[in-house]
Amino acid sequence: MGNKFIQLQDVKKEYQTGEVCIQALKDVTFTIDKGEICVILGASGAGKTTL
């Protein structure tokens, strides 16, 4: 569309817990254009809130 409202590109988020590294988000890329409706679905612990 070209009317970008939100754009994420290669988003990553890691948490370090002691010696364990947890990848909450890995290379997330998407665009939401103005006027579009977006729904984020996923299982518990999938990273929705982090996103």
Instruction: Name the residue among 47, 7, 13 with its Cα closest to residue 31.
Output: 7
Q: What is the mean pLDDT of residues 22-29?
A: 92
Confidence of residue 4 (pLDDT cuts 50, 70, 90): very high
Select the more confidently predicted residue: 21 or 46. 21
Q: How far apart are CA 17 and CA 35, in angstroms?
A: 39
Domain segments of the chain as ranges = 1-51
Query: In this structure, what token pair is assigned to residue 24?
Result: 């909450």
Confidence (pLDDT) at 45: 84
Distances in whole angstroms, Cα of residue 3 to Cα of each of 7, 13, 43:
11, 27, 30
Does 47 score more than 90 pLDDT? no
Confidence (pLDDT) at 1: 54
Work out the percent of the chain whose per-residue pLDDT is above 90: 80
